[in-house]
Amino acid sequence: MITAWRIVPQQWAGSAFDGEGARLYGGRWNSPGRPAVYLADSRALAALEMLVHLNPAMAALCYQMIEVSFPASLVQQIDIEPLGAALVSPSVSPATQNAGNAWLTEASAPVLQVYSSIISEEPNYVLNPKHPKFDRLKIGEARAFAFDPRLVT
């Protein structure tokens, strides 16, 4: 089993796995209009992935951390060779969005293993909440999480 993590503002914990935020705004691995859910391989990486988007006012919000477990058989790995420099760029790239969009359209697996742009050797995961096997993922209870204020001041 693989365990991954998601951190969300407390107000969104109840809908943290519907993919609506990514559908509205897009993300590194999906264009707007396509629901997706982003996870990190560790608690620490999940915190870093959030921190790059936070300003000091947002750090004061209440957050929830949610553990997700799934069998490796439900995971497809992204083919990184055609993505080149887009993988290490901190900016959202059409190349990564197109690769993620293709995976979402194919619906070949409910989980896509990708790599963090913050620590390129560390995996992140993208979930397809519309995949027929999405219900095989075990989503844990949301637990309180707070950022150390020294990280965002």
Q: What is the DSSP letter of 63?
A: E
- Look at residue 5 and tell me whether its pLDDT is greater than 80: yes
Q: Across all residues in the chain, what is the average pLDDT? A: 91
Query: Which tokens in the block code for residue 123?
Result: 């995996």
> Per-residue pLDDT tens for 45-58?
999 999 888 776 77
Q: What is the DSSP string of 70-91?
A: E-GGGEEE---GGGGGGGT-SS
Question: Exposed, middle or buried: residue 43 (CB in 10 Å: 0-12, 13-18, 19+)?
Answer: middle
Q: What is the pLDDT of residues 54-78, one digit of tens each?
A: 776 776 678 999 999 999 999 999 8
Buried/exposed code over 90-127 (b: 16+ C-beta within 10 A; e: otherwise): eebbeebbbbbbebbeeeebbbbbbbbbebeeebbbbb
pLDDT digits over 82-112, tens only?
777 777 777 788 889 999 999 999 999 999 9
Residue with tokens 């999480």: 145
